[in-house]
Amino acid sequence: MYPGTFDPVTNGHLDIIRRAAALFDEVVVGVYREPLKPVLFSPEERLRLMREAIASFPNVHAELYSGLTVDFARKINAKVIIRGLRAGSDFEREFEMALLNKQLAPEIEVICLMTDLKYQFLSASSLKELAMLGGDVNEFAPPCVVEALKEKLKKSE
């Protein structure tokens, strides 16, 4: 499974999903329902955008989840949690989470995939900030997200 907030899904996320889909028979993208950080899109909007973005991957589907990621992984019988790494700061955080998850669920492995160089700087937060400042986000997000950002930001004006 590939868990995250995905507020919203970026081309960097899709890069990780594409490569995970090539490695595994099935990939479940877990869209976290109630993150502790502020979000722009509701859980249902984030799930809809993810489903649109992954529609071309036959072995990938998305589900909302709450609670501990390892509990959701167990519920769906996932043997591996996929995480994406962009930079050194990601590694430290992901390493700590992987160790904690290993304590909670020793039977589940964590595999980190390095993001393509062209997406190393890209995060959902930077994508939203770029969109809010009127920047062109077309090369950083799937078309459904570009449109959703335009609509969401129009409503907030």
3-state secondary structure labels for all residues of 90-145:
HHHHHHHHHHHHHHHCCCCEEEEEECCHHHCCCCHHHHHHHHHCCCCCCCCCCHHH
- Give me the domain span that covers residue 87: 2-155
Pair of tokens at residue 52: 């649109």
Instruction: Answer for the pair 81, 69: CB distance below 8 angstroms, yes or no.
Output: yes
Split into its structural domains, the chain has a count of: 1
**The token pair that represents 10 in the structure block:** 């970026």
- Find the CATH number of the domain harbouring 151: 3.40.50.620
Q: Are 9 and 53 in contact (CB under 8 A)?
A: yes
Quick one: residue 68, left, alpha or beta (phi over 0 = left, psi -120 to 50 = alpha)?
beta
**Contact of 32 with 3, CB cutoff 8 Å:** yes
Angle of the 43-53 helix axis to the 143-155 helix axis, nearest 10: 150
Unique residue bearing structure tokens 């994508």: 127
Tell me the per-residue pLDDT of 79-136, one tens digit each, with 9 for 90 and over: 999 999 987 667 888 899 999 999 999 999 999 999 998 998 899 999 999 999 999 9
* pLDDT one-digit tens code per residue, 9-33: 999 999 999 999 999 999 999 999 9
Is residue 76 within 8 A of residue 28, CB to CB? The reply is: yes
| 50-88 pLDDT tens trace | 999 999 999 999 999 999 999 999 999 999 999 999 876
- Whether the bond between 35 and the residue before it is cis, its omega within 30 degrees of 0, is no
Number of Cβ atoms within 10 Å of the Cβ of 86: 17
Which amino acid, 115?
T
Whole-model pTM over 0.95? no
